[in-house]
A and B are shown apart, each in its own frame.
Chain A
Amino acid sequence: MTETTLTYPDNREPSAFTQAELGWLPWLEPFPSDQLTERHWAGLVDPSRARSPYFLLLARDPDVLQARTKADKDIFYNTSNGLPRAERELAATAASRSNGCIYCASVHSRFATQYSKRGNDIQRLLDEGVDARVDPRWDAIVDASVALTATPLDFGDAQIEDLRKNGLGDLEIVDVINGAAFFNWANRLMLSLGEAAPSGKTSS
């Protein structure tokens, strides 16, 4: 079987960070949705993800996808204690802004706004970049996420002290680390396996 990449000469790839909904087009053929086995469904975790070309592509290695999805959910949705959801999304947005993942940043900046009700502050982070100053606590979370995103890593005592000074306890700091680290995983997949597209434009 001949395998090739998929390209979209007519796609007008978004060229600015936005909180608007975007689409995503895969550069490789997703797993055919009519051939999904039990192992693939387990990998997708939520059956609704079988409609996403991104998750169908990742379903080609279903065991990794399953573990990745479950880790993702605990890092972001387990808010019985620790960092509020809004600030986990802020860490995800900062990592995505730093790596340059316009699609990832659109999704997670939208969540950050939804949970914090601070859409203008989030938009400044998107427009001005990770050096935008918002308030000391958010700045500390953004700075720590960006330092952790650098290669080689730039993260250490200074970032932890800054987070502590701004009221974060150790579990909350773990949530910042997990949230930013996870987006160093997600950004690399979204950026390298497909491209962003204007709203609603996804491959069939």
Chain B
Amino acid sequence: MSTISFDIIDHLADIQPGSHLDELRSQRPQARENAQKSYSALFDPDDAGNVSALERYAVATFVTGLHRQSVAADFYAAALQKLDRPDIADIVDAEITRGLAKGPYGRYPEGPLSTEDEEGPDYRVFPGHEEILGARLAAALQHAHLLVFHPRDANPEALQKLLGAGWSTTDIVTLSQLVAFLSFQIRVVAGLRALAATSNHTSASSGEAPVFTALLASGAL
């Protein structure tokens, strides 16, 4: 059974109803439904608490941009644009370029794994940008960069910086979930896109011509 209502992963991975990938996803219905509910709870929450839509979409644009996943990045950037803060959208865009790196890097607790420690950038928002972003959003971007590229460097001081910038304990849980969830969503989308692309190579000879045609028609390839 395929879903009729909007599904963000299907949208970002270009999965059409009735396609081979749609059928595969339908075999993990709870995973599919709850990946969608996670997205809704983070981007259209019943109770937003103190974390504004602007903060949620600015961080999401930053995280997807740092992953260099253009479909997801464009989606969240477009949502950010609609919030009528072009100054913030421009700065987030510039900060993505400043923040690009390769992960996962970071240090382990001192011991046998120290030989695997990998150095990487300790990203800070450009000081001139912090004024426009505000202390709260600037701290959130810095924390998001830590979680995206080098989560094993995390420590209580990183959380203390968020508290100091006005994030409550509950706000920090929401922010952490948002960055961590997007790290999941981006990977599912990229994985399913890669699978759809290679399924095409094999399906023409395995009696799945209708799927092949549907994918072609959808522009998914």
Contact = CB atoms under 8 A, between A and B. Distances in A.
Given A170-B20, A177-B187, A192-B154, A75 B194 contact: no
Q: Is the interface of A mostly helix, strand, loop or mixed?
A: helix
Interface centre among B42, B184, B192 (most CB of A within 10 A): B184
Contacts of B192: 174, 177
Contacts of B103: 150-151
Contact of A191 (B28, B151, B156, B173): B151
26 contacts: A4-B163, A7-B156, A15-B110, A16-B112, A27-B155, A58-B173, A63-B37, A63-B45, A70-B34, A71-B31, A78-B28, A78-B30, A82-B28, A99-B152, A100-B113, A151-B101, A160-B194, A174-B24, A177-B187, A178-B188, A178-B191, A181-B183, A184-B184, A185-B181, A192-B147, A192-B154
A171 to B, nearest CB: 6
Contacts of B157: 5
Contacts, number: 214
A119 interface: no
Main secondary structure of the interface of B (DSSP, over half): helix
A160 B173 contact: no
A67 B20 contact: no
A25 to B, nearest CB: 10
Contact of A3 (B37, B47, B111, B169): B169
Interface in B38-53: 38, 40-42, 45-47, 49
B69 interface: yes
| Interface residue range, chain B | 35 or more
Nearest to A159: B194
Given A64-B177, A185-B184, A155 B38 contact: no
Contacts of B45: 63
A177 B66 contact: no
Interface residues of A, number: 69
A191 B152 contact: yes
Contacts of B24: 170-171, 174
A151 B170 CA distance: 27
A181 B188 contact: yes
Contact of A188 (B33, B47, B173, B180): B180
Nearest to A68: B38
Given A3-B168, A101-B152, A74 B28 contact: yes
Interface of A: 3-7, 13-17, 27-29, 57-58, 60-61, 63-68, 70-71, 73-75, 78, 81-82, 98-102, 129, 148-153, 155-157, 159-161, 164, 170-171, 173-175, 177-178, 180-182, 184-189, 191-193
